[in-house]
Amino acid sequence: MSELWDTLTTGLVLSLVFIAISYLFWKRYDKPTPLMIERQEEKERLKEERDTWRQVEAQMQAEKEEAERREADEKRRQEALARSQVPTEAKVTEAWKSLGVSPSKPKTFEAKGEDANAALRPLDQSDIGEKITGDEDVLSAPALAQVRQDKGVQPGAEEPDWELIEKLEEIAGKDDIVVPDVPEAPDLATLQSSHNNEQAQGSQEEE
C-alpha cells in the first residue's frame, strides 16, 4: 500500500514539473511568426478600409439624395414659372394650328406719317398778343355780341323735393286719356254712286 502511494505521489510531482516546464517553453518560444504578424496587420487594415468605405458610401448616398431633392425642387419651380409666364406668339400660333384653327392676326397701331392727336393738342397762343395791335376791329363790329352768363350752382341752393317729383310722375302715369271711338268717315264716291242709282230707279218707276 505504501508503494502505491509513493508511485502516485511521484507521478503527481513529475506532472507538475512537466507542466511548469511546458508553460515556460510556451511562454518563451510560442510567439507569432513575422508572416502571422503581417497577416494580422493586413486583416486589421482591411477592416479599417471597409469601415472607411462604408462611411464614404453613406455620405455619397446622402449627397445623391440631397442633389435629387434639389433637382426636383428646381424642376417644380421652373414648371411653376413657365405656367405663370404668358405664352409667346409662336407658341400660340402652333397651338391654334394643332387645333386646326387659323390664328387671328393681332391689330397693330401704326403711325401714318402724321400725328393723329394733332387736333387734340392745345394751340400755341403765345403770339396772339403780338398780332393784335388794337381794338379797332372790335369797335367796327355792327353789333356787340352779348355773352350769356348763367349763374353757377350756389352752395346754399335748396335741393328739389324729390318726393313731390315722384308723386307727380305717378299721377302723370295714372292719368290715361280715354279717347272715344269715332266712326270712320264714309266714302264720298260710294255715297254718290248709291244716290245716283236711287234717282235712276225712281225715274224709271215714274215712267
Burial 124-157 (b: 16+ CB within 10 A, else e): eeeeeeeeeeeeeeeeeeeeeeeeeeeeeeeeee
* Residue-level pLDDT at 113: 55
State which residues form the domain around 51. Answer: 36-93
Residue 148 pLDDT? 55
Q: Which amino acid is at 36?
A: M
Inside any domain, residue 72: yes
Q: Residues 122-131: what's their mean pLDDT? A: 55
Residue 117 lies in a domain: no
Separation CA 111–CA 142 (nearest Å):
47
Measuring CA to CA, how many Å separate 202 from each of 10, 94, 98? 200, 97, 95
Q: What percent of the chain has pLDDT over 90?
A: 23
The pLDDT value recorded for residue 15 is: 93
In a domain, 204, yes or no: no
Distance CA 81, CA 149 (A): 63
Mean pLDDT of 96-118: 63
pLDDT tens digits, 37-77? 899 899 999 999 999 999 999 999 999 999 999 999 999 99
SS3 (DSSP) at 169: helix
The total of structural domains in the chain comes to 1
In a domain? residue 54: yes
Which is more confident, 115 or 101?
101
- What is the average pLDDT value for the chain, to the nearest integer? 74
Q: Are 96 and 102 in contact (CB under 8 A)?
A: yes
Report the distance separating Cα 124 and Cα 49, nearest Å: 93
Question: Residue 48 domain-assigned?
Answer: yes
Residue 27 predicted with pLDDT over 80: yes
pLDDT of 114 reads: 58
Mean pLDDT of 94-116: 64
Per-residue pLDDT for 130 more than 60? no
Q: Which amino acid is at 163?
A: E
pLDDT at 199 over 70: yes
Tell me the C-alpha distance between 98 and 91, whole Å: 10
Distance (Å, whole) CA 151 – CA 157:
11
- Answer for the pair 92, 103: CB distance below 8 angstroms, yes or no: yes
Please indicate, yes or no, if residue 45 is contained in any of the structural domains. yes
Asked whether the CA dihedral 110, 114, 119, 122 is positive or negative, the reply is positive
Give me the torsion for CA of 133, 134, 140, 146, rounded to 10°: 110
The verdict on residue 109 lying in a domain is: no
Q: What is the mean pLDDT of residues 136-154?
A: 54
More confidently predicted of 56 and 153? 56
pTM: 0.29
Res 51: pLDDT: 94
Q: Is residue 56 part of a domain?
A: yes
